[in-house]
Each structure stands twice: as C-alpha cells, then as structure tokens.
Amino acid sequence: MEATCWTDIDTPLGRLLLTADPDGALTSLSVPGQKGGRTDLDGLRHDPGPFRAAEEQLTAYLAGELKEFHLPLHTHGTEFRERVWAALDSVPYGGTTTYGEIAARIGAPRAAVRAVGGAIGANPLLIVRPCHRVIGADGSLTGYAGGLERKVWLLTLEGALSA
C-alpha cells in the first residue's frame, strides 16, 4: 500500500519529509538533498495529524532525550532488503556496526557486503532506522544517503563520535 499522506518538520538536520500509509505507519523519512530520498508527493495529501508521535519522538531524539523510537513502520523492499533493514533496528543507540557484521547477522555470505551496502543505502527511514550507525570495517565513516555531515552529527549526538 502506497503512502497516502505527508508532512514535514523543521529539525537541526534540516526540514524532514515524512510519509505514512493509510493506517498511519511511517513509510519514509527523507532529509533535504538525500540521495534516493522521496521527493514526489503527487497524489499524497498534506496532513500533519498522523505524524504527531513521530514528530515528538524525532524532536526528543534530536535533543538527546530519546534513545529508541517506538513508531509503527511500514516499508516495501525485497526480502533481502527487509532483512537488512530489520538488522539495522538491532544496532543500539551510541553503537556502531559494520557492513560485514550486518551481513553476518542476516546469514548472508561475506561476499554479500556490497549488496548489504546497497540495501542500507536504500533505507527509506533515515534516522528512525539507524543506517547512520553502519561504518566501514576499518572504522571509517563511509557514505550516508543523507550526507556525511549528517552522519557525523547523528553519531556525535549519540556519543559514538567525540565532539
């Protein structure tokens, strides 16, 4: 089922665009300039009502007051992508993991690291589904669809990086 409503909210990371399905489950969260982020709102209606909990939780998280989101989520991806995205949910606040560790978590072979990276890059729920917590095997801050500066900001907020 396609998202039917949207809203946007101002945050320290810029204006976030959120979409939800008819039941109010969050289907996407995009940041300005996001590679592959949602931009087409044709056929969707602007309605901030279904997003009150998401806005409250995002505001608290970005203020350093919330460590875990409790929101209904509804994504559409291949079975492989859904497994990768679910594995992201298990990376704790303030922690990091690697693409190889995500591959191992879902039972994929080491050779699947590139495919894992592609699935992470296609994550439709930035911030809420914490793909910013995935780093390179050597500890480097690899790409982030929302921009490397936002990844640094989020990891610093969570204490995974020094300010």
Are 5 and 20 within 8 A, CB to CB?
A: yes
131 is catalytic: yes
Which amino acid type is present at position 22? P
Task: Report the distance separating Cα 94 and Cα 8, nearest Å.
Answer: 26
DSSP code per residue over 32-77: TT-TT-----TT-EE--GGGHHHHHHHHHHHTT--SS----B----
Q: What is the CA radius of gyration of the chain?
A: 15
Distance, in Å, from the CA atom of 51 to the CA atom of 58, rounded to the nearest integer, reads 10
Q: Is 134 helix (H, G, I), strand (E, B) or coil?
A: strand
Give the active site residue among 131, 135, 155, 157.
Answer: 131
User: Active-site positions?
Assistant: 131
